[in-house]
């Protein structure tokens, strides 16, 4: 009689295997590929592969003049386009010691905060959608539309505005701007309660986010995770407080800080930030001084030879612009320290050991904008 040979049979749960999430995956909100190493449905490790929309913006900047570069910065983090413009404008103005009119500084601060709210609204609707709640998507987009209407009326475009120029603004605000913004704040103060009712208080959402993807304060600093994601871990990294620019040292607002560092805290940071942004706008909107909308600038802007650095708080974290100038009208080297690039580097660290469905929630709470990673 033939002897039965017991071959070692491997269970599929024990075997580690790799799957590709992306480049076309709805949860990455762009073209990002995550090579995820799985055992069963537990994430063992992952490797992000970026570069699908690498356009070489830093190389392009070396051929462009400073007013031209403004238009490229819109296309990095397109959801905080105004704030990206602001970084380059401040850098040029500081380097040339330009006296920017008070009116410009007021308008810029208000528009930056409107931009931050619009960005967080889009994050909220896509985060809700990632978690399986499609209603959020409609609510968020409906309210974001109100801000885009204000933008369209004043600046002529909805997404990529290029509204700031070195020395001032492209044009003055529309006469309806102040009324429109005040109407929006009045409207959104009521509507943000719906956000809490529909998603924040939802027990399924809380179960899926609390204690998932915990990032400690030390790791947040070491990985350079800034913005709401860093502040959720207790890393006080708000550039508006640490190195104030525009009017942020004159207005009263709170830096939102968390302690837990999990997905739910990252979620709450952005919800509270929207309220703080509305507070900032309310303090400024009635006090915009009269005056010019731009300082007199030379036709050709040349930065004196040397190094310059400017940091601003974009919607997703700290944006740094580092310029080495050789005295000509184009920068010798321009480096953008983009918040999303550093925030992405922590994804592998915090998603080890979670289920693959939670990886989607973690990715949503870090709020990537892929063109900002790839540049």
Interface contacts to other proteins, rule CB under 8 A: 50-51, 54, 56, 58-59, 219, 221-224, 235-237, 242, 306-309, 311, 318, 320, 322, 324, 332-333, 335, 337, 341-342, 344-346, 349, 374
Select 126 or 325, whichever has its Cβ closest to other proteins. Answer: 325
Select 24 or 222, whichever has its Cβ closest to other proteins. Answer: 222
| CA–CA dist 332, 214 (Å, integer) | 41
Q: How far is the CB of 11 from other proteins (least distance, A)?
A: 30
Q: How far is the CB of 310 from other proteins (least distance, A)?
A: 9
Q: How far is the CB of 265 from other proteins (least distance, A)?
A: 19
H/E stretch holding 140 reads helix 134-155
Q: Which two tokens mark 188? A: 């959104």
Q: How far is the CB of 306 from other proteins (least distance, A)?
A: 7
| CA–CA dist 26, 249 (Å, integer) | 39
* 246 φψ region: left (φ > 0), alpha (ψ -120 to 50), beta (else): left
Select 108 or 311, whichever has its Cβ closest to other proteins. Answer: 311
H/E stretch holding 90 reads helix 81-96
Select 265 or 325, whichever has its Cβ closest to other proteins. Answer: 325
| CA–CA dist 368, 229 (Å, integer) | 11
Q: How far is the CB of 344 from other proteins (least distance, A)?
A: 7
Select 188 or 235, whichever has its Cβ closest to other proteins. Answer: 235
Select 337 or 355, whichever has its Cβ closest to other proteins. Answer: 337
Which pairs with CB-CB distance under 8 Å and at least 24 residues apart come from 246-251? 246/86, 246/90, 246/105, 246/108, 246/109, 246/112, 247/105, 247/106, 247/109, 247/284, 248/109, 251/109, 251/280, 251/283, 251/284
Select 48 or 101, whichever has its Cβ closest to other proteins. Answer: 48
- The DSSP string of 32-76 is -EEEEEEETTEEEEEEEE--TT---HHHHHTTS-HHHHHHHHHTT
Q: How far is the CB of 49 from other proteins (least distance, A)?
A: 9
The dihedral through the CA atoms of 167, 338, 252, 95 has a sign that is negative
- 48 pairs with which residues across the strands? 34
Select 51 or 156, whichever has its Cβ closest to other proteins. Answer: 51
| CA–CA dist 81, 71 (Å, integer) | 9
Q: How far is the CB of 59 from other proteins (least distance, A)?
A: 5
Select 137 or 341, whichever has its Cβ closest to other proteins. Answer: 341
Question: Which residues, at least 6 apart from 207, have a Cβ–Cβ distance to it below 8 Å?
Answer: none
Q: How far is the CB of 15 from other proteins (least distance, A)?
A: 23
Q: How far is the CB of 348 from other proteins (least distance, A)?
A: 10
- 311 pairs with which residues across the strands? 320
Q: Which two tokens mark 331? A: 């920068």
């Amino acid at each position: 009689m033939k002897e039965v040979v017991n071959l070692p049979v491997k269970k599929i749960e024990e075997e580690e295997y790799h799957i590709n999430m992306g480049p076309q995956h709805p949860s990455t909100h762009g073209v990002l590929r995550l090579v995820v190493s799985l055992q069963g449905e537990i994430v063992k490790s992952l490797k992000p592969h970026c570069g699908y929309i690498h356009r070489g913006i830093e190389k392009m900047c070396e051929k462009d003049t400073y007013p031209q570069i403004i238009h490229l910065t819109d296309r990095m983090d397109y959801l905080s386009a105004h704030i990206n413009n602001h970084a380059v404008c401040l850098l040029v103005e500081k380097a040339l010691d330009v006296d920017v009119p008070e009116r410009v500084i007021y308008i810029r601060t208000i528009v930056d905060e409107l931009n931050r709210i619009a960005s967080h609204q889009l994050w909220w609707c896509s985060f809700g959608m990632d978690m399986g709640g499609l209603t959020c998507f409609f609510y968020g987009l409906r309210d974001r539309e109100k801000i885009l209407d204000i933008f369209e009326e004043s600046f002529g475009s909805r997404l990529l505005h290029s509204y700031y120029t070195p020395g001032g603004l492209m044009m003055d605000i529309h006469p309806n701007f102040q009324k429109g913004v005040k109407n929006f704040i009045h409207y959104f103060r009521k509507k943000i309660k719906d956000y809490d009712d529909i998603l924040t208080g939802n027990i399924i959402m809380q179960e899926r986010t609390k204690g998932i993807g915990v990032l400690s304060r030390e790791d947040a600093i070491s990985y350079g995770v800034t913005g709401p994601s860093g502040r959720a871990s207790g890393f006080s990294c708000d550039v508006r407080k640490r190195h104030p620019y525009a009017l942020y040292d004159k207005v009263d607002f709170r830096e939102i800080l968390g302690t837990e560092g999990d997905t739910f805290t990252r979620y709450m940071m952005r919800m509270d930030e929207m309220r703080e942004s509305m507070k900032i706008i309310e303090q400024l909107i009635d006090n915009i001084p009269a005056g010019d909308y731009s300082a007199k600038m030379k036709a050709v802007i040349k930065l004196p030879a040397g190094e310059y650095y400017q940091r601003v708080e974009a919607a997703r974290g700290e944006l740094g612009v580092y310029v080495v100038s050789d005295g000509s009208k184009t920068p010798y080297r321009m480096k953008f320290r983009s918040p999303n690039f550093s925030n992405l580097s922590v994804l592998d660290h915090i998603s080890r050991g979670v289920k693959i469905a939670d990886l989607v929630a973690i990715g949503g709470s870090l709020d990537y904008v892929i063109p900002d990673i790839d540049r």
